[in-house]
Structure 1
Amino acid sequence: MFPHSRTPRLPTAEQALRGRPDPTFPVPERHTVLGTRLLGPYPEGLEIADFGLGCFWGAERKFWQLPAGVHTTLVGYQGGFTEHPTYEEVCSGLTGHTEAVRVVHDPTVISYEELLKLFWESHNPTQGFRQGNDVGTQYRSAIYTHTSAQAATAEASRAAYQQVLTGSGYGTISTEILPAEGRTFYPAEGYHQQYLSGSKNPDGYCGLGGTGVKLGDPFGTNWGQSCPTGIAPAPEAADK
């Protein structure tokens, strides 16, 4: 979670590190805060949403702190070329991955639109390969969609947020919106999972910060207007 001295640039598939067919480290079974399974199987009816919004330590905490509807969260690497990368490899800038948060949620309790609202308002999506003082291709803003409905909603939310950001003096959104298919989510090492939780590092580093510009009510007619204040089936059912 520290800045690089060189100018970040995404590698091509040919330039990227080769990786490996299997992970080199285990992933904890349970979420440190929520107590749910990190890798599933998950209860029936849940959906998966994948986001990249800078340092995944603070980004993950944003989602697990939602009052209801989030079953589990986990952090990982997504959007690149290297199979089963390590943190050090991702930080080298030679994998093409961004730091991502997977959010498994109950859409009857919290919608994808609400998750998108939190996503946009929790970081500055106009900074390219940077988020605050964190510089590198792994800090780029991204949404990886699992269904055509997610893709359409994500695109609509980006257009709406661009409108209010422009009105507030910000530049062009650099967030990539791409299908999750073909862009495998590789879980990060165990020490990264729920890194800022109370049992680990509650006062640890977090460089995440939003613009202060609000997207609007995702359920109302003011979607995309400024406010004064601030879908993919999950794996088969199982209990916690």
Structure 2
Amino acid sequence: MLFGRTTPQIPTPDQALKGRATREYEVPSRHTVLGNALLGPYPDGLEVADFGLGCFWGAERKFWQTPGVWTTLVGYQGGSTPNPVYEEVCSGLTGHTEAVRVVYDPAEVSYEQLLKVFWESHDPTQGFRQGNDVGTQYRSAIYTHTPAQATSAEASRASYQQVLTGAGHGTITTELLPADTREFFPAEGYHQQYLDKNPAGYCGIGGTGVSCPIGVAKTEG
């Protein structure tokens, strides 16, 4: 079996659902809060960052509230099944995690500041879960787009581990991989900016309460 009762496992490519050649649904053209395009190509000078930190509804809101972020969209990343749908991802049989793609202006917000939002908005020591949300789709992940992002992500992980350890927390389990090896598939339209459309909806995002020693980004929800 792929999954035990207490320890989910990521399926291998051979075990994963086969998926499909094209996306089965349309993705909205514009961000409901920021008003900018959801899908690229994006304007020159902007950069892209990808993060997984539990349920993507609340995670996306953390980033669209961050000054300097041009647009955000949620999707599925890190798995083997091409063009999955939500129900397949939730089954644990695609290998994806729920991710947020953050398109930002580096002249207004640094990647390091986005990393601070990322680390402080979830508990990166929980493995395949965030709070009551359990499954491989809730794992912590950073998918980097440049060598500079990879270097910054690795350095921030090491720095945050030190302060987490000092505060009595466990080992960071965050997956850190190049984005070009982990394709991002935009999620269905109803997931995009979900908490803007449903202000009283489920969030599920909560950090450790331990400040990350990098950047100065605002992280309040």
Counterpart of 1:224?
none
Aligned partner of 2:208 among 208, 211, 221: 211
Q: Distance in 1 between matches of 2:214 and 2:72?
A: 24
Of 102-111 and 5-14, deviating more is 5-14
2:114 matched residue in structure 1: 115
Alignment of structure 1 residues 162-173 onto 2, 5 Å? 162-173=161-172
In structure 2, the partner of 1:185 is 184
Secondary structure, aligned partner of 1:85 = coil
What is the CA deviation profile of residues 20-75 of structure 1, one whole-angstrom value per residue up to 9, with x for unaligned ones? Answer: 11000000000011110000232110000000000000000000011x21100000
Matched residues, number:
215
The CA deviation at 1:129 is: 0.1
Instruction: State the secondary structure of the residue aligned to 1:61.
Output: helix
Equivalent residues in 2 for 1:101-112 (5 A)? 101-112=100-111
Aligned-residue offset at 1:79: 0.3
Aligned pairs (5 A) from 1:124-163: 124-163=123-162
Task: Kindly provide the amino acid, as one letter, of the partner of residue 157 in structure 1.
Answer: S
Deviation sequence 1:108-160 (CA, Å, 0-9, x none): 10000000000000000000000000000000000000111100000000000
CA distance in 1, matches of 2:7, 2:203: 22
Q: 1:182 to 1:194 in 2, by over 3 A?
A: same
Shift of 1:6: 5.6
Match of 1:48 in 2: 48
Structure-2 separation of matches of 1:86 and 1:177 = 24
Instruction: For structure 1, list consecutive stretches of 5 or more residues without a partner in the other structure.
Output: 220-228, 231-240
Could you list the runs of 4 or more consecutive aligned residues of structure 1 that deviate by over 4 angstroms after TM superposition? none
Counterparts of 2:101 and 2:131, CA distance in 1:
22
Identity between Structure 1 and Structure 2 (%): 74
TM-score, normalised to structure 1's length? Answer: 0.87
Mapped partners of 2:214, 2:39: distance in 1? 31
On the 8 A contact 2:112/2:214 being kept in 1, the answer is no
Give the structure 2 partner of residue 238 of structure 1.
none
Structure-2 separation of matches of 1:168 and 1:115:
22
Q: Return the TM-score normalized by structure 2.
A: 0.94
Q: Which residue is equivalent to 1:99?
A: 98
One-letter code aligned to 1:174: T
Equivalent residue, structure 2, for 1:69: 68
Root mean square deviation, CA, Å: 1.5
CA drift of 1:162 comes to 0.1
Question: Aligned partners of 2:169, 2:180: CA distance in 1, in Å?
Answer: 31
Q: For 2:10 and 2:75, how far apart are their aligned partners in 1?
A: 18
Distance (whole Å) between structure 2 residues aligned to residue 217 and residue 163 of structure 1: 12
Identify unmatched segments of 5+ residues in structure 2: none
Query: How far did residue 8 of structure 1 move?
Result: 1.4
Between structures 1 and 2, the one with greater helix share: 2
Once the two structures are superposed, residues 160-199 of structure 1 have per-residue CA deviations (whole angstroms, 9 ceiling, x without a partner) of 00000000000000001000012110000000000000xx
